[in-house]
Amino acid sequence: MHELSLVGAVVDEATRVLAREGASRVLSVRLLLGVLSCADRDALEICFPLAVRDTPLAGARLEVVPEPLTLRCAACGAEARTWDPILACGACQSGAVEVLGGRDLVIASLEVQ
Ligand SMILES: [Zn+2]
């Protein structure tokens, strides 16, 4: 249950935001699901309500937005966005690429109360 541990990290992060904002619960959460997180969107949506039970996110509306992999090539400088989880430059095939985005499951926005 990889998705369960990912949601656990989201709960931790959201709890920190709540404390900072002086809010008590999350009404909705929008998550960016990076290609490299290897999480399945359907599995995420199914396990989310279970994973957030007894947390400030209980009952929150979930929106999952898939995020492509964004790479920058150290060899030729090309930047590319791709839905394929392949760490190589599409222009020169170099493997010396830096991951700029699409690595993790991250919170894009939270609506709190
Ligand atoms: Zn390149």
CATH, residue 21:
3.30.2320.80
* Centroid of ligand 1 to alpha carbon of 87 (angstroms): 11
* pLDDT bracket for residue 75 (50, 70, 90): very high
* Centroid of ligand 1 to alpha carbon of 77 (angstroms): 6
Question: Which sign, positive or negative, has the C-alpha torsion 8, 11, 15, 21?
Answer: positive
Which residue type is seen at 73? C
Can you give the residue range of the structural domain that contains 84? 2-112
* Centroid of ligand 1 to alpha carbon of 90 (angstroms): 7
pLDDT of residue 1: 59
* Centroid of ligand 1 to alpha carbon of 98 (angstroms): 11
* Centroid of ligand 1 to alpha carbon of 89 (angstroms): 5
Domain count, the chain: 1
Neighbour count for residue 92 (Cβ, 10 Å): 12
87 DSSP 8-state letter: -
pLDDT tens for 87-106 read 999 999 999 999 999 998 99
Q: Pick the closest to residue 57 from 22, 15, 2, 106 (CA basis).
A: 15
